[in-house]
């Protein structure tokens, strides 16, 4: 299982800027190993974010996203103490969900 995501949600006025650093190897399926064989594709395919349980972002990703991707977005109507959750799913079917409190 991947390491926890690092999520920061900073509130300014009625908006929260959310920054997420995801830990994932993100193999494209085009790289070869030392023996010359293709390394199988393994990358994040779906990302979603919630604000107090309500979905505020969904994204479909492909193999072109870098290793340990960074994501930043803004949530309107947020205030300090609100919960921001982020979930990803990869090509192997693994899923990771983490949550942070807006400050």
Helix (H/G/I), strand (E/B), else coil: 22: coil
Two structure tokens written together for 23: 């830990």
- In this predicted model, what pLDDT tens digit does every residue of 51-96 receive, in sequence order? 999 999 999 998 888 889 999 999 999 999 999 999 999 999 999 9
Q: Is residue 102 within 8 Å of 78, Cβ to Cβ?
A: yes
Closest CA to 84 of 101, 103, 59: 101
Q: Is residue 20 within 8 Å of 6, Cβ to Cβ?
A: yes
pTM recorded for the entire structure: 0.86
Q: Which domains does the chain have, with CATH numbers?
A: 6-101 (2.60.40.10)
- Please, what is the average pLDDT of the chain? 92
């Amino acid at each position: 299982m991947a390491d926890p995501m690092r999520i920061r949600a900073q509130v300014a006025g009625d908006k929260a800027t959310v920054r997420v650093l995801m830990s994932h190897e993100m193999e494209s399926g085009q790289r070869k190993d030392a023996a010359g064989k293709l390394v199988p594709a393994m990358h994040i395919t779906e990302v979603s974010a919630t604000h107090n349980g309500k979905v505020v972002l969904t994204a479909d990703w492909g193999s072109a996203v870098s290793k340990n991707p960074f994501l930043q977005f803004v949530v309107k109507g947020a205030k300090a103490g609100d919960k921001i959750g982020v979930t990803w799913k990869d090509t192997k079917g693994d899923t990771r969900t983490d949550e942070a409190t807006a400050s």
